[in-house]
A and B are shown apart, each in its own frame.
Chain A
């Protein structure tokens, strides 16, 4: 059995799943950048005392599941979301969805994901895909980061749906409850909501590890890495930062380019010149993140090794923080009437 589901490739998995599922529910105005912006996916956090794969815990995107939830709630689309403690129940529920003609979004872990090549398989549990069919115990899968659709066997799907560790998916499944009609006015409201949320979060949260302050925190840590953990490990930490920023699913420049694209598309709904100005600012910021990544690669490839080079890297990130603060402040201060 195969449902009529249109697979569109996206930069980021959750944006893609959200967009594709909403299209399926008849909401065709939503594009990947719109889903990302309305869902306030842009983010920054650097959690001290916590390590991921032995390196710093940094994220450029919001918590898994939030983009879908926020986008749907801002648009007034009712959502079904379920977690399971029993593996059989989880599979049964998925099969029932498919039988009822409903493609389902699933949160999965990447490590045992069979169609990923080994190089990309880490213990990362916040990947998303859509299951849209089943034949002979093989599920048909639309993974938005891939160009085409793919398949996975039932036992393999069960394994990734019940991946363990940080952010364990617990068989989580989600989809829009029913098809709805969305007016442009609703999209306008949702865009405003998304921008308000993200700009508030990035500039106004009084916690030093979150938002723009978090970027400054990372910058100040980078300066100390060489002394604290040594040149090689410091390089590994920077490699981790670059991977979080650029690895599949970010659209490049730590999601900043997707956000710039969102602001451009938002302008089509809300013709406020400010949006285009800030979009340009984010293009510059994304480029700066990439320039910083080049500097970091010099360090982790061992070409650059002095403390001076770590300082340069730190200053670059500090400069980005200042520019992001400007950009998000401009968004935060927009008068929406």
Chain B
């Protein structure tokens, strides 16, 4: 990559920082340059988020249909899987899987719900009602 070819496309990176790229100058010598972003990878990031949103919407529907507990919704919303939820809460994976069942979820003690609420950054009430700000469907 030549120095003048370092891409400068508008991307989510704009909210954050410019990133360092290594490229060659006219004499073929490597130098560090700054990039604002590259459309190709902004698209890769975009489609990954679209997929995450679709999974979250799907989970919300499942909860509404009574097929899963709100933990599934928050798990998808936070890009987690059962293994990550288990690691953060300290529950066994099979316990988390049990808590994904609505019937089991309704019987959970306050203390256990609080653990989930903590890792998902919501209150217990919002955990039960799936009330979250700034999520679009």
Contacts and interface: CB of A to CB of B under 8 A. Distances in A.
Interface of A: 9-11, 32-33, 53-54, 111, 116-117, 119-120, 122-123, 145-148, 164-165, 168, 235-236, 239-240, 242-243, 246-249, 251-253, 257-258, 260-261, 264-265, 279-280, 283, 286-287, 290, 293-294, 296-297, 300-301
Interface string B11-53: 0110111111111100011101011001111011101110100
B17 to A, nearest CB: 5
Given A243-B41, A246-B38, A261-B22, A283 B16 contact: no
Contact of A53 (B38, B48, B87): B48
A249 B30 CA distance: 17
Given A117-B15, A145-B17, A236-B48, A290 B1 contact: yes
A257 B1 contact: yes
Given A243-B44, A290-B40, 16 more contacts: A10-B20, A11-B22, A11-B32, A53-B48, A123-B79, A164-B84, A164-B87, A165-B87, A240-B44, A242-B44, A249-B19, A251-B22, A257-B22, A283-B1, A286-B1, A296-B40
Interface residues of B, number: 38
A248 B19 contact: yes
B83 interface: yes
A281 to B, nearest CB: 13
A53 to B, nearest CB: 7
Q: Is the interface of B mostly helix, strand, loop or mixed?
A: mixed
17 contacts: A11-B19, A33-B22, A53-B48, A54-B51, A119-B45, A119-B49, A164-B87, A164-B88, A165-B83, A243-B41, A247-B45, A248-B19, A249-B19, A257-B1, A280-B28, A293-B40, A294-B40
Contacts of B83: 165
B80 interface: yes
B85 to A, nearest CB: 9
A164 B24 CA distance: 39
A335 B13 CA distance: 43
Contact of A120 (B12, B38, B51, B78): B12
A145 B19 contact: yes
Which residue, of B13, B30, B49, B80, has the highest number of chain A Cβ atoms within 10 A? B30
Given A123-B84, A236-B51, A300 B45 contact: no
Contacts of A146: 16-17
Given A9-B20, A111-B79, A297-B40, A235 B47 contact: yes
A171 B109 CA distance: 30
Contact of B30 (A239, A243, A261): A261
The 3 closest A-B pairs by CB, nearest first: A164-B87, A261-B30, A119-B12
Q: Which of A119, A146, A293, A296 has the most CB of B within 10 A?
A: A119
Contacts of A293: 40-41
A247 B24 CA distance: 20
Nearest to B88: A164
Contacts of A240: 44, 48
Nearest to A143: B17
Given A119-B49, A287-B1, A242 B41 contact: yes
Contacts of B80: 123
A11 B19 CA distance: 6
Q: Which of B19, B23, B49, B87 has most A Cβ within 10 Å?
A: B19
Contacts of A11: 19-22, 32
A257 B40 contact: no
